[in-house]
Amino acid sequence: MGYKNLLLEFDGEICVVSINRPEVRNALNRETWSEIAQATDQLEKDDNVKVIIITGTGDKAFAAGADVAALKERTLIETFFNENQATLSRLAAVDKVTIAAINGFALGGGCELAMACDLRVASENAKLGQPELNLGILPGAGGTQRLTRLVGIGKAKELILTGEIIDAAEARQIGLVNKVVPVGEAVQAAKEMAKKILAKGPFAVRVAKSVLDWGSNTSLDQGLIMERLAQTILFATEDRTEGLTAFLEKRVPVFNGR
Whether pLDDT at 17 is above 70: yes
- Neighbour-count burial of 228, counting CB atoms closer than 10 A to its CB (0-12 exposed, 13-18 middle, 19+ buried): exposed
Q: Do 150 and 106 have their domain in common?
A: yes
Same domain for 95 and 183, yes or no, is yes
pLDDT tens digits, one per residue of 160-185: 999 999 999 999 999 999 999 999 99
**Domain co-membership, 89 together with 15:** yes
Predicted TM-score (pTM) of the model is: 0.92
Q: Is residue 141 part of a domain?
A: yes
Determine the Cα–Cα distance for residues 9 and 15; give it in Å rounded to an integer: 6
Separation between Cα atoms, residue 78 and residue 54, nearest integer Å: 27
What 3-state class would DSSP assign to 122? strand
Residues 107 and 125 in one domain: yes
Q: Which letter, b or e, does each residue of 106-145 get, where b requires 16 or more Cβ atoms within 10 Å of its Cβ?
A: bbbbbbbbbbbbbbbbbbebbbbbbbbeeeeeebbbbbbb
**Mean pLDDT of the region 213-234:** 93
Shared domain check, 140 and 59: yes
Query: For 34-90, how does the pLDDT look when each residue is reduced to its tens digit (9 = 90+)?
Result: 999 999 999 999 999 999 999 999 889 999 877 776 776 676 767 766 788 999 999
Is pLDDT above 90 for 234?
yes
Q: Report long-range pairs for 36-42 (Cβ below 8 Å, ≥24 apart).
A: 36/6, 36/87, 36/91, 36/113, 37/83, 37/86, 37/87, 37/90, 38/1, 38/3, 39/1, 39/3, 39/6, 39/8, 40/87, 40/90, 40/91, 40/94, 41/90, 42/1
Q: 237 in a domain, yes or no?
A: yes
How many structural domains compose the chain?
2
Pair 102, 229 in one domain: no
What distance in Å separates the CA atoms of residue 117 and residue 14, rounded to the nearest whole number? 15
- Active-site pick, 9, 31, 83, 112: 112
Q: Please check whether residue 132 is in contact with residue 109, taking contact to mean a CB–CB distance below 8 angstroms.
A: no
Q: Which of 9, 35, 83, 132 is catalytic?
A: 132
Q: For residue 234, what is the domain's CATH number?
A: 1.10.12
- Does residue 178 contact residue 192 with C-beta atoms inside 8 Å? no
The domain of 74 spans: 6-198
Catalytic, 132? Answer yes
Task: Please indicate, yes or no, if residue 1 is contained in any of the structural domains.
Answer: no
119 and 164 within one domain: yes
Tell me what pLDDT residue 119 has: 98
Active site residue 192: no
User: Does one domain contain both 115 and 70?
Assistant: yes
Whether 11 and 31 map to the same domain: the answer is yes
Q: Are residues 30 and 139 in the same domain?
A: yes
Are residues 112 and 239 located together in one domain of the fold? no
C-alpha to C-alpha distances, 100 to 19, 51, 148, 192, 257, nearest whole angstrom: 12, 11, 18, 13, 25
